[in-house]
Amino acid sequence: MVEKNKPAERGDTSSPAGSLLERPHRVESLESVVIRFAGDSGDGIQLTGTEFSKSIATGGYEIVTHPDYPAEIRAPLGTLYGVSAYQVKYSNNPVFTSGEALDVLVVMNPAALKMNIDDLKHGGTLVANTATFTPANLEKAGYESNPLKDGSLAIYRLIPIDISGLNATALKDSGLSRKDIGRCKNYFALGFVLYLHNRSLNQEIEKVRTRFAGKPEIAEANVTALLSGYAYGEVCEVFDTRYTVSDEVNLTPGTYNSITGNRAVAMALVTAAKQTGLKVFLGSYPITPATDILHNVVKLPNFNITAFQAEDEIAGVCSALGAAFGGSLAATTTSGPGMALKTEAIGLAAMTELPLVVIDVQRGGPSTGLPTKTEQSDLLQAVYGRNGECPVAVVAARSPIDCFHTTLEAFRIATKYMTPVIVLTDGGIANATEVGRIPRLDDLPPFEVKFRTDPNGYRIYERNENLARAWVRPGTPGLEHRIGGLEKDALSGDVSVDGANHDKMVRTRAAKIDGISKDFAPLVIEGSEEAKLLVVGWGGTYGSIAEAVRQSIADGHAVAHVHLRHLNPLPNDLGEIMERYETILVPEINLGQLSVLLRNKYLREISGFNRVEGKPLRVSELRNTIEGLA
């Protein structure tokens, strides 16, 4: 977190280790940097990447990260499928993605090198832990010879370091076991990379001591490893250049936070409780990659929010539905497989017309699929995936910070229209980190919830101008009522099997959902006004699309971009906007699900750009497609 009106910590050329052997290195200024850390799951890669990105964020830079880890809880050491990685791009200019071609790659073993080397640009910096390049590990990674010595890496700027050995030497007097000493090597690597990027260690040292406050001996060992890695950079003769990004950061003054999408969702739940004065109930079952929302919420019991870890997905959503009936703001979190299990209960919420927010953090499917990889393949499930005529509102977040605003809007829609609302995020933005301003409550749209308390003339399904029935707390005098999954009379709420009544209720519920679109702000069109090509995106593809469009425009191509938050109902002005353009391109991390919706509704030919590789869309590939159509 950084406040712009305070001096942000920048590169510091002083030696925190107090080395007398410091070797001067040339400092090269760059517009942006893309760096990836990679190693075994047990190497602390996610922690290393997170701490590096936080250090960059405290300097006031814009960042976007991409954690990438295996589905196996603990894959065999040194194997290709056990590689964990963490990528971050930072710049003083707007950053939309975590980057594509790497400027720096830090690998802790041969498997990490094998899995990631193709993404390192020619001339890029490769930092390798030489201690792990043993015959056994090389064989596991499929190398016939040691790539650090056979010349196959000559096109890169190789910095071989015995990270494990140097770390062990630095901590030989720490009193820690050999195993615990080995666990500190990620901080040695972090210290070296922070030196390489001209960053100060002062704040990082304090963070280490705070993180391990309960284990002071571990804290001091990690600090020693961090300082040792930094000091090694000072005296290392293998390279002669350090990197820095310009200090000219164009941020609006205020308080900023580096935040993941899942944490932003948790913050939205707390904000909804604060704005409305109502208790928020979260009923969820742990499932990757949504579990962190539950983890974050359980840490906030003093903010009028209750988290319930249910025994299964069905219990999670049903408990939330019960809380909604009782007058609480209610939510449940899940991913694709869990959405399938929650389907009947979501239908019950639609039939009883209770406000319920369902947060689906999408992952690769079908079935168990790719639990730790991103995908956008639940759109049609969200829009259509229930029995009967059962429309519900569907919204999608475009970035980690937008997860906050989208979730908060979902609560407003759910309570205003008395309906379930599905929020689609994905594993990419849920786990990624972005820097953004923390909104003040006064800056947010008002959010007021009213319950009916007047029993005079009360009929359960009598509707207001939004076609929403009244929300009544159970036990309110004179307003005792029953609801359920059987069809009800259009006014009294009594069970009804009358065909005409059923037809009326089905059409009324559908009209209510369609009417939500009257509240949407006009769509914002980015890009060229003279364009004949319109790129239509939704959800977490925003960064890749925005970057590809900007690059194409800079290269002289006319192209426009509109990004959708509201997917059911679709915005009222979308059809008119699409009519202005000759060609419509829809990039998605699926096989064309939004394309299906747009073709069905607007009867337009749609060109798709579809990838299902478990990772964000590659900007270079998308740009080539855009420029081929523009």
Segments of the chain scoring below 50 in pLDDT: 1-15, 17-21
> For position 19, what pLDDT does the model report?
42
- The torsion angles phi and psi of 449, rounded to 5 degrees, stand at -120, 135
> Exposed, middle or buried: residue 488 (CB in 10 Å: 0-12, 13-18, 19+)?
buried
DSSP 495: B
> For position 49, what pLDDT does the model report?
95
> For position 21, what pLDDT does the model report?
45
> For position 23, what pLDDT does the model report?
54
The domain ranges of the chain are: 26-245, 257-443, 525-629
> For position 42, what pLDDT does the model report?
84
Does 525-629 match 26-245 at the fold level? Answer: no
pLDDT in tens, 521-561: 999 999 988 899 999 999 999 999 999 999 999 999 999 99
Domain 257-443 adopts which CATH fold?
Rossmann fold (3.40.50)
Exposure string of 380-392, with b = 16+ CB inside 10 Å and e = fewer, is ebbbebbeeebbb
Which DSSP helix (H) or strand (E) runs through 65? strand 62-68
> For position 248, what pLDDT does the model report?
67
pLDDT in tens, 349-406: 999 999 999 999 999 999 999 999 999 999 999 999 999 999 999 999 999 999 999 9
What are the residue ranges of helices labelled H in 280-401?
Answer: 291-298, 313-325, 336-352, 379-384
Cα angle for residues 155, 156, 161 (degrees, 5° grid)? 140
Reference 185, options 47, 72, 80; nearest CA is 47
Q: What is the largest CA-CA distance in the chain?
A: 90
CATH class for domain 525-629?
alpha beta
> For position 25, what pLDDT does the model report?
67
> For position 6, what pLDDT does the model report?
37
> For position 436, what pLDDT does the model report?
85
Q: Does domain 26-245 have CATH number 3.40.1160.10?
A: no
> For position 11, what pLDDT does the model report?
45
DSSP-derived pairing of the beta strands 32-40 and 566-568: unpaired
pLDDT in tens, 257-291: 889 999 999 999 999 999 999 999 999 999 999 99
